[in-house]
Chains A and B, each alone.
Chain A
Amino acid sequence: DQQVKQNSPSLSVQEGRISILNCDYTNSMFDYFLWYKKYPAEGPTFLISISSIKDKNEDGRFTVFLNKSAKHLSLHIVPSQPGDSAVYFCAAKGQETSGSRLTFGEGTQLTVNP
């Protein structure tokens, strides 16, 4: 039972354009969402997060949108840069989750072409 799903395994965009990465979840008890970025041969690194009481959080070129009614969140990168090419993981935390555990999606490989 995959509670966090990223349905697009890959996404390719041109440098300077917008990248939109999507994530859907099924557990209505999730109350905090995060995006991680992963380069090859490295561990994932935290990118941006959002609480379930908000619908938008922005940090520089990165914006995360949350639509609770649709159980959907998205990460927007504007403008996209070649250095943004990486695997992006969506993650979620449940209110009832002990140990602050996060549930991750499958990941989306973003390629930004010069």
Chain B
Amino acid sequence: DAGITQSPRHKVTETGTPVTLRCHQTENHRYMYWYRQDPGHGLRLIHYSYGVKDTDKGEVSDGYSVSRSKTEDFLLTLESATSSQTSVYFCATGKGGANSYGYTFGSGTRLTVV
């Protein structure tokens, strides 16, 4: 059973429709993150969570919302998808704490907004 599972792996959606991406972890990590990967920009943080119901914005949060109702699941919602949100989205988890700064990443969701 994979430590971090992202679903769906691929999605094509139309402009203006809502989209929800799911991240599920079995690592029992406190921290969870959503990043997007775009050519020339690397990985940019969208939102993150430092506990159940505790979330905060990252550097590119406009147009996105998140929810974390339990430790294992972190949902990313595009309220009204736009073509600029076409990207590869990665979920990551982290234990946090001293000397535990590395992340574990999921395999990604490729989202295309047409």
Contact = CB atoms under 8 A, between A and B. Distances in A.
Interface string B54-66: 0010100000000
Contact of A105 (B42, B56, B102, B106): B42
A36 B101 CA distance: 12
Interface string A1-36: 000001001000000000000000000000010101
Chain B interface, >50% SS class: strand
Interface residues of B, number: 29
Given A99-B50, A107-B42, A44 B105 contact: yes
Contact of A101 (B48, B90, B104, B107): B48
23 contacts: A6-B42, A32-B101, A34-B101, A34-B102, A41-B108, A42-B107, A42-B108, A43-B108, A44-B103, A45-B105, A46-B102, A46-B103, A46-B104, A49-B101, A99-B31, A100-B31, A100-B96, A100-B97, A102-B101, A104-B42, A104-B43, A105-B42, A106-B40
Given A101-B45, A101-B58, 7 more contacts: A36-B105, A43-B4, A44-B90, A49-B101, A100-B101, A101-B48, A106-B41
Interface of A: 6, 9, 32, 34, 36, 41-46, 49, 89, 91, 93, 98-107
